[in-house]
Amino acid sequence: MERLGGEHEGQTSSIRQVVLASFIGTAIEWYDFFLYGTAAALVFPALFFPEQTPLQGTLLAFSTYAVGFAARPLGGIVFGHYGDRIGRKTMLILSLLIMGIATALIGLLPTFESIGVLAPILLVVLRFAQGIGVGGEWGGAVLMAVEHSPEGRRGFYGSWPQMGVPAGLLLANVVFLITSSTLPESWGWRVPFLFSFVLVGVGLFIRLRILETPAFTQVKESGTQADMPIIDVLRTYPKNVLLAMGMRVAENGTFYILTAFVLTYVVEELKLEQNTGLTGVIIASVIGLFTIPLFGALSDRVGRRPLYMFGAVFSLLFAFPFFWLLNTGVAPLIWLAIILGVNLGHDSMYGPQAAYFSELFGTRVRYSGASLGYQLASVFAGGFAPLISVALLASLGYGAVAVYMAVMALITVVSVFLAEETYQGDFSETQDAERRLISESAGEGPA
């Protein structure tokens, strides 16, 4: 087993154990985050907004869903700052605690029937805390994997924390499906949220055993940490931050239409059982455990940019066919629509994404830069995608939702076209370039 650093008692820096820890921890955090999306689509309207019409209740539930995305840039900024200042590992542990505790407390919330308007207010507060946690989690998790990776394997190993998304989505939907089918409706919805207490314990045990990354350790030992990472990254990499945001739009926005809005569409528009949509999302989640690392590994051979462009173009062209397949009302075709959109369009972007975004920034500001580009786009893309889609569907029909998906994909196509290829770059070369940029921007002339 390859070693990328020293070993402390009870801890390890084996690349395989590091990426496994990143995967498991990320899966737990995304379980918490996605569980809310499933509940917002299926049960929260009646529990927290019972005085509204079904459409208004769904819109309000998805509005609280969007709050988590609004908080994610704040989490990315705060955790990115301290992740670049004191280390990736500490921030990962803290983000897991915030996310897990907030999720478990949602499971203990009284509903509107018990405490009135205070119930949705508390729901929004806890959703905001979830957003803070997941906003800080992604950057730390992918950097633990990417910065521990050997040269030429960053795409593959960086895809492991990305696999936490389908794993968390799978776990959230399976647990919700089981509890909603077997437990009383009045309290059964609480069990998946309370299960987070157990998962947080598992995640903490795993994350406490891994070491800090070699790249950050080198920066820390040399005493060259950035004083203000966010300021430095905006000064030295403004173009890359914007391009990362653009590349994120289609991947993030269409994903939440394919996995959250589709649940509402299947029930409210097609008048089918909620398990029809859930089953399709579960199948796509299982397949994603294989397609994401496949695309990540492939990006180590052919580059990040071609795969990302393929996913963006596919998402653009598939916007209308996605709804045509859904509208057949035939379960296998509905599942096919979700699978094609998620596992071919989304995963071909998401697999290489961790390595791609990490390679756009130098070590001193990498946590801040990757998190900022990733999380800022989440607000405008994924955060509002289900809400906007429900509103468009109600006023203009499914065609308007398809156009919305196509526009997001077009933004990403343009961003990928303008971005540089990074897969053959060396982190040390990136670091040298960063020092030169900082020196020049400070008015010291070329280094």
Residue ranges of the domains in the chain? 15-213+226-438
Please identify, in words, the CATH class of the domain defined by 15-213+226-438.
mainly alpha
Whole-number Å distance between alpha carbons of 409 and 403: 10
- pLDDT for 120 equals 86
CA angle 290, 330, 337 (to 5 degrees): 35
Q: Which residue from 266, 100, 125 is spatially nearest to 196, judged by alpha carbons?
A: 100
The token pair at 185 is 């409706």
How many other CB atoms are found less than 10 A from the CB of residue 205? Answer: 11
- pLDDT for 423 equals 80
- pLDDT for 258 equals 94
- pLDDT for 224 equals 67
- pLDDT for 13 equals 53
Low-confidence ranges of the chain (pLDDT < 70): 1-13, 65, 224, 426-447
- pLDDT for 446 equals 38
Paired residues of 210 in beta bridges: 12
pTM of the model: 0.80
Whole-number Å distance between alpha carbons of 93 and 77: 16
pLDDT in tens, 381-411: 877 888 899 889 999 999 999 999 999 999 9
- pLDDT for 11 equals 42
- pLDDT for 401 equals 95
Token pair 């052919």 is found at: 302
- pLDDT for 337 equals 97
- pLDDT for 262 equals 92
